[in-house]
Amino acid sequence: MPDHITVAGVTVDTRHWIGGQRLASPGTFTDLSPIDGSVLGEISRGTPAEATAAVAAAKAAFPSWAATPRAERARILHAIADGVEKRIEELSIVETSDNGALLRSHRRGVMPRVAHNFRFFADWLLKLEHEDFETRGHTNHVSWDPAGPSVLITPWNAPLMLATWKVAPALAAGNTVVLKPAEWSPLTASLLADIAAQAGLPAGVLNVVQGYGAEIGDALTSHPDVRRISFTGSVPTARRIAASAAPNLTPLSLELGGKSPLLVFADADLDLAVDLAVEQYDNAGQVCLAATRILVEESIAEEFTRRFVEKATALKQGDPRDEATDIGPNIHPRQLEKIDGFVQRAVEAGARVVIGGHRKEGQYYAPTLLTDVAQDSEIVQEEVFGPVLTLQTFATEEEAVHLANGTRFGLAATLATGDRERAERVSDQLVAGTVWVNCFFVRDLQAPFGGSRLSGVGREGGTWSFDFYCDLKNTVTAPNGWNNHG
């Protein structure tokens, strides 16, 4: 098999990146484009041997990288950001080909955010400090020590952006990294390895191992030399990772599923509320934060639904490389089958299809809205991860909060209201890691990010990321007892 493939004119190495070298596995897996189902290439299919070699490379590189001064680590991270910015067009077209997200979004938002991830954590590293404090004349000094090799397992819906959301703080903290990208969208992780090497990141500090989690996951997450594991994905996979990491008590950061609500009160700006609701179809509904449960006050439900249908049916679905496209394909035939299964079972259980409810040609699913759904139904309780929304109504603020909090998840919530006091009151009662009021998807890297309940464990962002990727140390020094007086 060839060591490289060409995707839209961009050359991508199909081998792993371990210890500063490209290494192939005996077997491969096929990477398909969701745009048209075409084969992009055969990718090295990692085995426990490659996974173990990557951890060994990360362990060997750790002492030197951990001892690298903060300013030098920051300089290299900025150099990686420079490399990303020089290749935004290449990264964008490769990722669109690989995961089907809109090319215009990659160009204008996603890939610039990739570069920003590196710049932000490089800069945050340089100002990371805790003010010394006194205890009975003794001085307390808090420091963040690099923890060690870190395994980062990332999803397919925003492959490079979500990978670097983990890679950047881990490297800034002084850790070495083994990155395992999702097998449905592995290509930009390989390009990142090239960019990092060209930026001067030492060999072994970043390693990339491709393959199936079921085949190499345990070799990574159960390894005694791994000191941190960060995972974004499903709850069942998180449970397996946690069980694998438990014997070594390896600290975990888990960003998992969501079933987030959008609460629309009668006093809201209705046009804004409709815009927020339609925005939940972004990335073909493959967004963990998406507010897929629309909760609307009864008195405005009919008008809200009318306006929603008008706006949603005007969305253009098609080739994500077309600038005019609003919704692209879903990632994989298996995911499309899962989405349709949720919808058909909901209809069989009594749900009414307002729009959509069916597959389209290829790997495209029509934007769907379902009503007449019970709170305890599967379609309301389980994450679909596709362009499928439900609409329920409420009569009182108390009922709205009850419905909003009525799942096992707690990743995010969105609230549309014209009453500031109500916004504060309801936000305080919502179980969610992030609450947006009259807006959606406004993200700042210095804010804590994560989920409650089954939506995750821990928080990342700003200092919270360094708290996870480091071992915090408090040094307490007595005021006397010195032999010298310098």
The catalytic residue positions are 255, 288
Alpha carbons 19 and 178: distance in angstroms, whole number: 10
Decide if 279 contacts 477 (C-beta within 8 A). no
Residues 6+ apart with CB under 8 A from 179: 152, 154, 163, 166, 167, 189, 192, 206, 207, 208, 209
Candidates 354, 374, 376, 357; CA nearest to 365 is 357
Candidates 257, 179, 170, 261; CA nearest to 450 is 257
Largest CA distance in the chain: 82
Residues 6+ apart with CB under 8 A from 177: 58, 149, 150, 151, 152, 167, 170, 171, 205, 206, 207
Residue with tokens 């959509």: 356
Q: Are strands 409-410 and 388-394 parallel, antiparallel or unpaired?
A: unpaired
Alpha carbons 199 and 114: distance in angstroms, whole number: 15
Candidates 100, 131, 166, 129; CA nearest to 333 is 100
Q: Are strands 138-146 and 133-135 parallel, antiparallel or unpaired?
A: antiparallel
Alpha carbons 311 and 294: distance in angstroms, whole number: 15
Instruction: Read off φ and ψ for residue 327, nearest 5 degrees.
Output: -135, 125
Residues 6+ apart with CB under 8 A from 126: 70, 71, 74
Structure tokens at 53: 């070699």
Residue with tokens 């938002």: 109
Residues 6+ apart with CB under 8 A from 122: 73, 74, 75, 77, 78, 81, 168, 172
Alpha carbons 458 and 350: distance in angstroms, whole number: 38
Candidates 173, 277, 270, 182; CA nearest to 227 is 173
Q: Taking the CA of residue 393 as centre, how many other CA atoms within 13 Å lie in the half-sphere pointing to its CB?
A: 13
Decide if 316 contacts 377 (C-beta within 8 A). no
Residue with tokens 């935004």: 88
